[in-house]
Amino acid sequence: MSTSLDLDAYFQRIRWTGAASPTLATLAGLLQAHASHIPFENLDVLLRRPIPLDLESIQAKLVHANRGGYCFEHATLFAAVLEAIGFTPARHAARVVLFGSITEMPRSHMFLTVSLDGAAYVVDPGFGPFAPPFPVPLLDGHTQQTHWMARDGGLWTLHVPRDGQTVPGWTSTLEHENPIDFEVSNHIIATHPTSMFTNIMILSASTPKGRINIMNRGVMMLHEGTATRTQLADRVALRSLLVSHFGFDLPEVEAMRVPAISEWD
């Protein structure tokens, strides 16, 4: 997968000028830079566009067009970057339990693990506003940081901060998956009428002093630790936020239908 990667263009996109060697410092730095410059968004799903997972298409969108994407796109791109540098990432699927129980949620999330110097780390650049901005040690109950892992039998759960608490985010068996496995999941998530992503709008991007999160009409601006909540007036306001905080313009959103926002129909 790494043979067709334009690593220089990716480094320019995330403004990375550090080392390109397979070390923990490089892994942490790349993940932080990726999270800071490539947003999470599901706009193409809502626009009823295909979401291709070949590396050429993902680079065209996330790197060259300054767009964002969702988990399959982020994790596929980041895995190719790591492989090009000399890491050996493993691909995994998870059930997102933030929004339902383990028996209700499909294995619809993609993330990575990386082993270095006898230790393993969870690397998850595509979990939107809940994504850990650092490699999370794959240790049971490692709670010294904002994100941590817990093990229950054969299941591993990533815990994430949400509304002032730390809650389970996703659960996985850590079974190794192949890229083709995510092609099937991606198609269902991007097209099925009951999929969360075909019904609601979720966007998240880093800002110079915080973060902006959008879910449907709700907008939360985090600025130096203070949260301000507002409501999108209309789709013109959405387009304006894309330009000012997400780094791209997408005129098509002014006619985009979001099923969860009935007043926009």
Say which residue, 115 or 144, is predicted with more confidence. Answer: 115
How far apart are alpha carbons 106 and 95 in whole angstroms?
A: 6
Question: For 163-211, what is each residue's pLDDT tens digit?
Answer: 888 999 999 999 999 999 999 999 999 999 999 999 999 999 999 889 9
Question: For 7-36, what is each residue's pLDDT tens digit?
Answer: 999 999 999 999 999 999 999 999 999 999
Question: pTM here?
Answer: 0.95
Q: Please tell me what DSSP assigns to residue 135.
A: P
Question: For 29-74, what is each residue's pLDDT tens digit?
Answer: 999 999 999 999 999 999 999 999 999 999 999 999 999 999 999 9
Of the residues 34, 124, 147, 245, only one is catalytic, namely 124
Of the residues 71, 74, 92, 159, only one is catalytic, namely 71
pLDDT over 80 at 231, yes or no: yes
Instruction: List the strands of the sheet with 202-207, edge to edge.
Output: 40-41, 202-207, 210-215, 218-223, 226-231
pLDDT on residue 1: 40
pLDDT on residue 236: 97
Pairing of strands 90-96, 136-137: unpaired
Question: For 74-111, what is each residue's pLDDT tens digit?
Answer: 999 999 999 999 999 999 999 999 988 888 888 999 99
The per-residue DSSP string of 176-216 comes to: -B-HHHHHHHHHHHHH-TT-GGGT--EEEEEETTEEEEEET
pLDDT over 60 at 3, yes or no: no
pLDDT on residue 264: 86
How far apart are alpha carbons 2 and 108 in whole angstroms?
A: 24
Of the residues 34, 74, 109, 147, only one is catalytic, namely 109
Portions of the chain given CATH number 3.30.2140.20: 2-180
Give the fold, CATH level 3, of 2-180.
Arylamine N-acetyltransferase fold (3.30.2140)
How far apart are alpha carbons 154 and 175 in whole angstroms?
A: 10
Share of the chain above pLDDT 70, in %: 98
At residue 2 the predicted structure's pLDDT band, cuts being 50, 70 and 90, is very low
At residue 116 the predicted structure's pLDDT band, cuts being 50, 70 and 90, is very high
**What is the Cα Rg of the chain in Å?**
18
User: 153 has which bridge partners?
Assistant: none
pLDDT on residue 33: 97
What average pLDDT does range 149-155 have in this prediction? 94
Contact 43, 203 (CB under 8 A): yes
Active site residue 109: yes
